[in-house]
Amino acid sequence: MNNTFHYTSPLGGITLSSDSETLTGLWFDGQKYFPHKLISESTEAELPIFTETVKWLDIYFSGKEPGFTPPISLHTTPFRKAVYDILLTIPYGQTMTYGEIANIIANQQGAEHMSAQAVGSAVGHNPVSIIIPCHRVVGADGSLTGYAGGLDKKTALLKLEKYEI
């Protein structure tokens, strides 16, 4: 059973999804890769996981680092999970490049090289935006590239974290 909850953020509507125990999704409404079918087949509910996630979002949008992460379950490939685990290590207010993430994955897998483009695809399909901070990933030259929620939102999130753009 999949459940949803709607949150109104300073940057627009956000849809949360849960398996009743853990957070399984967080998307800006209408963003690229928004799971319309999943959402249409879900039931709106008020659950403890949504209460905890709303608390996290309220702290975050107040300009502070929340200091905790709600329980998350990801139903994805091992490669994408490895990328998301790295995203969770990027400190609040800092960034990492797609290439740096690719190098970490290559080292973890004992490979000489990993495609930054493959990392970019995984980052773009992140099902738990903001909490798994895909907005903190930048191009090799530090430029703001790609964000499924839109570059305007990526810019706003980084500014909220006081990152110098």
Q: Which domains does the chain have, with CATH numbers?
A: 3-62 (3.30.160.70), 78-161 (1.10.10.10)
Place of tokens 């990328």: 83
Position 164 scores a pLDDT of 79
* Residue in 20, 7, 4 with CA at minimum distance from that of residue 59: 7
> Catalytic: 43?
no
pLDDT tens sequence across 116-161: 999 999 999 999 999 999 999 999 998 898 888 889 999 999 999 9
Residue 109's H or E segment, with its range, is helix 98-109
The active-site residue, picked from 82, 87, 122, 134, is 134
- Phi, psi of 64, deg, nearest 5: -120, 155
What is the pTM for the complete model shown?
A: 0.93
- The token pair that represents 75 in the structure block: 């139903």
Position 11 scores a pLDDT of 97
